[in-house]
Amino acid sequence: MTELQAERAGKPLGVPRIEAKSQRSRYLDVLIAIAAFAVLATLPFLFSSKALLDFVIRCAAFGLFATSLNLLVGYTGMISFGLRRATNVHRQSLLIDKAARERLNGHKAVILWFTGLSGSGKSTIANIVERELHARGAHTYLLDGDNVRHGLNRDLGFTDADRVENIRRVGEVAKLFVEAGAIVLCSFISPFRAERRMVRELVDAGEFIEVFIDTPLAECLRRDPGARPADASAVVRLLTAYRGRSTPAVPSGRSVSERVSRSLKV
């Protein structure tokens, strides 16, 4: 499903699927299994030494078992669907809810989602905003795009599907921070509108504030000349997504302190 199709369907791109075994591979497994049976049937006529015969039979039997298992898995168990298999999972009711945690923290929980091009200054501004909030006594945490790829999302690359899965995981983590009554700041390129909407819909109305760091492309490239080639498509999508936007923007041409102040007002 392309981004456009995902937008029209109102859902994000799916997680990559693991392909089933090919028909040719299955036929090969069948031939190997037949050959192994044939070898086992003729072994008693080929060997006069009982010890040697036993050894060869054991080796052939092991090979037959491994091949048969591979064949069985090929027909019945290869994963060919998204990894959403649990059917016996139920929500556990909790005695302490989000409202109680917010009262204890002394402020509302919210996601501040900083989005923009690579090199736009998202992380710099989000870092300083968190410092200011922390100085005011707020309970905060910052999720940064590069940092989460060292742990939680280290198995993901930069394909469209991986980018969507990256944001899906981060969105779920951000939701947990909101449930804890905290202010969670997220700094991600997040070029797809669908994936940002996906995170927005995870929390209640008013708990997701999207802030676009509106830095000119030329300045982003000057700051980050080693940007990944895969980010080129993200640049196009992000610039297209924000034409005619209603999202609060932190405009370029201002000092970092001015942009931080603008973010805090948002």
pLDDT computed for residue 70 by the predictor: 56
Of 150, 195, 155, 189, the C-alpha closest to 172 is 195
Of 226, 219, 176, 242, the C-alpha closest to 186 is 176
Q: Could you confirm whether 263 is annotated as catalytic?
A: no
CB-neighbour burial class of residue 60 (10 A; exposed 0-12, middle 13-18, buried 19+)? middle
Cα 264 versus chain centre, distance: 28
Q: What angle do CA 40, 41, 46 make, to 5 degrees?
A: 85
pLDDT computed for residue 79 by the predictor: 45
Tens digit of each residue's pLDDT, the chain (266 residues): 444 344 444 444 444 443 444 555 666 666 776 766 666 666 565 555 565 556 556 665 665 555 555 555 454 444 444 556 677 888 899 999 999 999 999 999 999 999 988 888 999 999 999 999 999 999 999 999 999 999 999 999 988 889 899 999 999 999 999 999 999 999 998 888 888 999 999 999 999 999 999 888 888 888 876 655 555 555 665 666 554 454 555 555 555 555 555 555 55
Tell me how far apart the alpha carbons of residues 212 and 124 are, in angstroms, rounded to a whole number.
Answer: 13
Strand, coil or helix: 174: helix
The active-site residue, picked from 49, 190, 233, 261, is 190
Residue 47 structure tokens: 């060997």
Tell me how far apart the alpha carbons of residues 39 and 142 are, in angstroms, rounded to a whole number.
Answer: 63
pLDDT computed for residue 215 by the predictor: 86
Tell me how far apart the alpha carbons of residues 228 and 224 are, in angstroms, rounded to a whole number.
Answer: 9
Residue 190 gets the label, from left (phi > 0), alpha (psi -120 to 50) or beta, of: left
pLDDT computed for residue 20 by the predictor: 42
Question: For residue 112, how many other CB atoms are within 10 A of its CB?
Answer: 23
Question: For residue 46, how many other CB atoms are within 10 A of its CB?
Answer: 10
